[in-house]
Amino acid sequence: MKILVTGYNGQLGYDVVKELNSRSIECKGVDREDFDITDCEQTVDYICGYAPDAVIHCAAYTAVDRAEDDEENCRRVNVDGTENIAFACEKLGAKMLYVSTDYVYGGAGDEPFEPSDATQPKNVYGVTKLGGEKAVMKHLERYFIVRTS
């Protein structure tokens, strides 16, 4: 199996690549220096050129507070960029794992959230990560969405 990991220069992407390498799984970590996920043609060309069996999409606009004043860039990365990656995976027939967030639920609770709980994001970051989830589901049948906290 050959895996492409986006967001390699971030903590999660780096750790995912490190873990895959420790298990002798063929993988490649990429970041914005390799290609711009908000550019569909660039994204498709890069991913299809590498031809992974799966993509673990860790890249994201993660500055939650700044996103309120930078909604356009947050949307471009978290929604459009994710859709471009999902589209490339669709063309290849590759699986995709999308790293999302519990911000899609929009509130704190006394119990852990369940995947079936209603989504009601209360900020730009949560709205855009939910938009990314919807983009993945629109393009792919073989996907995983992991909501971290």
Query: How many Cβ atoms sit within 10 Å of the Cβ of residue 92?
Result: 18
Per the residue annotation, which of 8, 103, 125, 143 is the catalytic one?
A: 125
Query: Can you state the percent helix, strand and coil of the chain, rounding each to 5?
Result: 45, 20, 35
Is 125 one of the catalytic residues?
Answer: yes
Give which of 60, 67, 57, 77 is closest to 125, Cα–Cα: 67
**In 43-121, at which residue ranges do the beta strands (DSSP E only) sit?**
54-57, 95-101
What does the DSSP 8-state code read for residue 90? H
Give which of 12, 8, 85 is closest to 52, Cα–Cα: 85
Active site residues: 125
